[in-house]
Amino acid sequence: MNFENIQLGIAPINWTNDDMPELGAENTFEQCISEMALAGFTGCEVGNKFPRDITILKKALSLRGLQICNQWNSYELTTKSLEENKKSFTQLLDFLETMGAKVIGGGETGNSCQGKKEVPVLEGKGMLNSNEEWKNFTYGLNELGKIARDRGIKLAFHHHMGTCIQTREETERMLNETDPENVYLNYDCGHFYFAGEDPVACLEQFISRTAHIHLKDIRPNVLQQVKDNRMSFLDAVKDGVFTVPGDEEGCIDFPALAAVIKKSDYKGWMVVEAEQDPAKANPLEYALIARQYIRKVTGL
């Protein structure tokens, strides 16, 4: 296969950050989606400045040839009941279904340190400490995945720094202990690299269970500072640990990732999602860098 079954999207988190609203506070919704389209992307995820009125949102996106391809869902299976999780999950499914999206993303935020500025991300990650905790977690994910599947949407779970599903081993166990019909992976090369894993080997292993792909790069010099200074996840983002594919400061082997995707059966979206401070990294400039680089590497 080549890339005709794949569409290219970009995340609004490059313009405005949901976890740190001060980042990109000056960027409007209209500027964000106009620049996405201008850079040559056809899809996007959802940010905090996106209007909640479906009619307004649909019109604004269709004027620019964009569609919603996914949205982050904060699973709290480790800290809240399954019923509470079902409620928020179903509300987001309603929205995504109306917008024509085929994927619901997100990671486990219940026992995560990803949003805690005082906790070093490489020391304070959430854990599933017993077989019982694993069982409760994967049972809940499976049940939510079933609900999504019945509505023609795939639950694509995002392994993420600071959470109980961060490493390759944790990701493998999560996938092994859930039904492949109900639970898929939102693969993210940047998060695997950050976690000390080989992103290419991880993609080779998990591509058959992957329903959504995030493309971001890592600045190794910033990652070293994160380790040396025991930084939180949010401070790491603010200081530029992530960047876009095609940035010369990055280090991930995207041609190797493209080769894995090319020989797979993957269909769906590849989304550039490289959250950083828009005041330091102009979102349109970096969106163009990523778009041109992806064209060079994949022909897309």
Tokens of 126: 């959430």
The parts of the chain modelled with pLDDT lower than 70 are: 1-2
pLDDT in tens, 162-213: 999 999 999 999 999 999 999 999 999 999 999 999 999 999 999 999 999 9
Q: Mapping DSSP to helix (H, G, I), strand (E, B) and coil, where does residue 154 land? A: strand
The pairing of beta strand 217-218 with beta strand 242-243: antiparallel
List, as own/partner pairs, every contact residues 128-133 make where C-beta atoms lie below 8 angstroms and the sequence separation is at least 24, other chains included.
Answer: 128/78, 128/164, 128/170, 133/78
Whether pTM > 0.75 for this model: the answer is yes
List the one residue out of 267, 270, 260 whose CA is nearest residue 295: 270
**pLDDT (0 to 100) of residue 179:** 98
- What pLDDT was estimated at residue 186? 98
Whether 141 and 75 have beta carbons less than 8 Å apart is answered as yes
pLDDT of residue 177: 98
- Among left, alpha and beta (phi > 0; psi -120 to 50; other), residue 163 is beta
Q: Which residue has the tokens 């000390």?
A: 196
Residue 122 parent element (H or E): none
Q: What is the pLDDT of residue 3?
A: 82
The confidence score (pLDDT) of residue 4 equals: 86
Structure tokens at 63: 């004027």
